[in-house]
Amino acid sequence: MQIQTNPSQKELKQHGEAEFPILVSEEQLSIYESGTFLWHWHPEVELTVIQSGEIIYHVNRSVYHLRQGDILFCNANALHSGSMFQKKDCSYLSVTFDPQLIYGFHESIVFRKYVDPIIQNMGFAAVLFSPENDGYVRLLTALQSLIRLFDRRPAYYEPDMICQLLQIWKIIFQCYSPKAPAADYEGKELIRIKQILSYLDQNFMNHITLEDISSVINLCPGECSRLFRRYMNVTLFSYLKEYRISRSLDFLAEPGLSVTEVAALSGFSDPNYYTKVFRSIKGCSPRTYRKKYFTCSPENTKCG
């Protein structure tokens, strides 16, 4: 499986109910293809608690190596992705919520003083809390209480959860610096990155040049390439190759399509090159992958 997004890489999954937008979920990297969840963003804030294993977690331009016990705050609208470390699985809890649960209404002093400065500052995309850090124990305690309330749903759990969210936000705000580096510049870069990702999503099946992409964001090709590498920690066309392979899995699941047709639909004009790239990323050929994951057989537990 893979995270479902719209063309700008906004996640389509609903985080909780509209009347109470918070979701606590247990996750494992092994449920995602290649042990990686792809770049995406959402307007909700997310807190990730590592239960076991390790994860390489990207948030905007920063890279975090998270280990058991670590807690990562990921700001609203920040691009993020995660992958296995040394191909080993990682289990984690994800707590995702709309900041409006904290501030209530936009004219409130809580919104103006404590929430809006953070969610509007792309220079403050993430904060890592490790066991040795100040505030870690208080944050973990509040998160554990929040998770218990979500799981058990006792009487009055909604206001009790909001109380815990306020405690969590207070701890995060105490780490906030209004002088986070290049916040305005970060915001402009993030907009351009999302525009690039949207263009690639809508055109991955076609021939794409660096000039095509750079014209979308009104930068020269060289600066466009440097921006993407600086922000995403991978070259633009390396990302495009991996994205095309990821999108090709949907076509491989269609039994009526040949590998040559799958390659063409995924933006590869040469099926042999498609197979080569597929093997380098997935560790096997497209035919082997299709047989293993998309052909029903007694030993294939993913069928039915």
Q: Which amino acid is at 35?
A: G
Question: Are 68 and 5 in contact, with CB atoms under 8 Å apart?
Answer: no
CATH of the domain at 79: 2.60.120.280
Number of independent structural domains in the chain? 2
- Judge whether 33 lies within some domain: yes
CATH of the domain at 256: 1.10.10.60
Residues of the chain short of pLDDT 50, as ranges, are 182, 297-304
> At a CB cut-off of 8 Å and minimum separation 6, what does 75 contact?
45, 59, 118, 119, 121, 122, 124, 125, 126
Residue 60: per-residue pLDDT:
86
Residues 237 and 285 in one domain: yes
- Judge whether 258 lies within some domain: yes
Domain end among 174, 196, 223: 174
Residue 102: per-residue pLDDT:
93
How many other CB atoms are found less than 10 A from the CB of residue 63?
10
- Judge whether 161 lies within some domain: yes
Residues 265 and 151 in one domain: no
- Judge whether 301 lies within some domain: no
- Judge whether 10 lies within some domain: no
Residues 134 and 242 in one domain: no
Residues 165 and 211 in one domain: no
Which residue in 143, 168, 146 sits closest to 159, CA to CA?
A: 146
Residues 55 and 127 in one domain: yes
Question: Are 73 and 127 in contact, with CB atoms under 8 Å apart?
Answer: yes
Give the DSSP H or E segment for 137: helix 136-152
Residue 191: per-residue pLDDT:
86
Distance in angstroms (rounded) separating the CA atoms of residues 229 and 183: 19
Distance in angstroms (rounded) separating the CA atoms of residues 289 and 302: 13
Distance in angstroms (rounded) separating the CA atoms of residues 109 and 104: 10
Which residue in 96, 94, 77 sits closest to 32, CA to CA?
A: 94
Distance in angstroms (rounded) separating the CA atoms of residues 75 and 118: 8
158: tokens are 């909604």
Q: Residue 126: give the domain boundaries.
A: 22-174
pLDDT tens for each residue of 141-159:
999 999 999 999 999 999 9
38: tokens are 């792809």
Distance in angstroms (rounded) separating the CA atoms of residues 118 and 94: 20
Pairing outcome for strands 62-66 and 55-59 = antiparallel
Distance in angstroms (rounded) separating the CA atoms of residues 116 and 173: 11
